[in-house]
Amino acid sequence: MAHCVVPAAESILDQAFPVLDKGFVRLVDYLGGDSRIVQAARVSYGEGTKSFREDAGLIDYLLRHEHTSPFEQVILTFHIKLPIFVARQWIRHRTARVNEISGRYSIMKDDFYVPAPEDLALQSEDNKQGRKDEALDEDAAKSTIDRLVEGQEEAYADYIGLVESGLAREIARINLPLSLYTEWYWQIDLHNLFRFLALRLDSHAQKEIRAYAQVLLDIAKKVAPAATTSFEDNLFSGLRFSGAEVAELRRRLAVESGSAASQAQAAPLQGKALERFEEKLRTGKQL
């Protein structure tokens, strides 16, 4: 199988794309692109035997029908700088290979995430894991940022003091806050990157990790544009319906499914199930 060179991906190699206040994402290396997916699917064909349109059609077919193994042939390696609290959400995706900077061997940098004023909000009353849409007023935001920065500066000063006193680095680091930036190399295949993006681009994900996911999506478009377009259309913007929801759609659209008798007996959705279904149709988002 010939080496796959993607000019658009080559043009951004090692370029740091800023995220948040001090973070970044860099594409360090990649293996394959759209043509590698096609080659893997058409193992008996050589490169160039099909047009771009036909290749894009095949890629779309593979993705829609969940033939995932050809997408696993494309591998991307990223160098990422991110706050520890984002990294701990990120690492729950256990389908990548990770090498992270170690505070046992290195002195951690004085780099902490400080939210922008517009990103500060009170706890949501109806979402236990999120914030309200309305930002804090100017005075409250300034006061909050001052408190965050003061705590970060104090924690880092204590850390450096303990290191300089001769305390082992692996102990000195333990009081550093979650806002501290860490760095890692993160390598993942395209299939599992799409699974990551489907979750972390969703509006229910924390805003900070969504910012990283958007940059990863933009980079994926450079490496495999046809595959990424298909992901956006079929997986990210598409919807999945339960059996009961499909029955409700058929009932509403008066599309027969099975015998007329069974169709007539299909009960409409009710209660919370109906609310979720209506919200899914209204927002176009997977709930």
- List active site positions: 200
Q: Is the Cβ–Cβ distance between 46 and 1 less than 8 Å?
A: no
Residue among 205, 229, 243 at smallest CA distance from 57: 229
Please name the helix (run of DSSP H) or strand (run of DSSP E) that holds residue 169, with its range, or none: helix 169-172
Tell me how far apart the 2 most distant CA atoms of the chain are, in Å.
82
Strand partners, 186: 78, 98
Listing DSSP states for 189-226 in one string gives EHHHHHHHHHHHSSTTS-HHHHHHHHHHHHHHHHH-HH
3-class SS of residue 85:
helix
